[in-house]
Amino acid sequence: MLKRYFDNMPVCLLFVLIGLLLCAAPARAAEQTSPKKKVLVVMSYHEDYPWHVETREGIESVLGDAEISYFYMDSKNNLDGVAASGEAAFELFQQLQPDAVIAAEDNAQSMFVVPFLKNKVKTPVIFCGVNDDASKYGYPADNVTGIIEKKHYRESINLAQLITPQIKKIAVLYRDTPSNTANLAQLEKEKNLYKAELVATAKVSSVEELSAVLRSLENRADALLVLNLSGLPDQGGSQLSSAAIINLVNHFWKKPTIGASSWEVEEGLLCAVAKLGQEQGAVAGQLTKQAMAGIPVSDLPITQNRNGRRVINVSTAKSLGINLKPIALIGAALVK
């Protein structure tokens, strides 16, 4: 039957059909054996740090078809070893020879990208989670672009005032870290836009200092804006988790507390308009995908996060005797 079909086929058409079959087979074989693009992701902190978990979700939502390797610098728990960790990340880069690099948060820039990759290799480098101003790292560079991270402080303060209109004065509590240096700079730049006055910025270096610092602020402020305290050491020198520290803050401070991330509210702060790690990761992933497709990094401008989500801890509100008004609940995620 098949022989009769080919016997009756015009010679020219037969040659065309054979040619198409011969061309299709190698194309399918090439498609099946084409190697995955390799991406190295260098995270500044530890693997289970909530912001990195969110960022990873965003990256993988876009780059799920790539071969992704992760390196964690653990700089919140081991700030003194961050330089050596940057060197170790570069050694991994040399071993993997990835098609692109994603570098998350500030320490990955200062200790890894800037000394080893920026304008030194042709590999595209996409940053994310850089606080507010990327120019301090000389970005954009020939091979570096990305997405900066702006905290939604003004919106978070507005939300706190919707919940408790009596808030007029706010104190800022922080641990001295590179990321909080940038956070304080953003607060200083924006403070005239806030509907409440920033009356104090208080640094804590250990859990032992925490209660004394909060007592000193008690009569000065109506609310506390908490910058990231993760890794604050206890009396034995062990770094405490964010949840453990927020629990201590709530023990000593009996007024509203404001954060910038969803997990901080889940761990006990009253409220935040939370930045989204998934947004940082997804945008970084999309820029990486474009760079690996051949678009010059110079054609991919630096961008910034846009989205935020209202988050309110109803258990904390109840413990403070706050009755949540409907206007504050509009569009808010409620956590306990």
- Same domain? 221 vs 321: yes
Q: CATH number of the domain that 145 lies in?
A: 3.40.50.2300
- Residue whose token pair is 């693009």: 37
Give the chain's domain count: 2
Q: Which residues of the chain have pLDDT under 50?
A: 1-6, 8-18, 20-21, 25, 27-31
- Same domain? 101 vs 208: no
- Same domain? 138 vs 265: no
Predicted local distance difference test score (pLDDT) of residue 237: 86
Beta strands in the chain (DSSP E): 38-43, 67-72, 100-104, 125-131, 144-149, 169-174, 197-203, 223-226, 257-258, 271-274, 303-304, 309-313, 332-335
In a domain, 26, yes or no: no
**Cα–chain center distance at 203:** 23
In a domain, 220, yes or no: yes
Residue span of the structural domain in which 106 resides: 38-150+277-305
- Same domain? 47 vs 158: no
- Please tell me the distance from the alpha carbon of residue 175 to that of residue 125, in angstroms, as a whole number: 29
- Same domain? 60 vs 100: yes
Residue 41's beta-bridge partner residues? 70, 102
- Please tell me the distance from the alpha carbon of residue 51 to that of residue 255, in angstroms, as a whole number: 26
Predicted local distance difference test score (pLDDT) of residue 131: 84
- pLDDT tens figures, 90-146: 999 999 999 999 999 999 999 999 999 999 999 999 999 998 689 999 999 999 999
* 3-state secondary structure at position 314: helix
In a domain, 4, yes or no: no
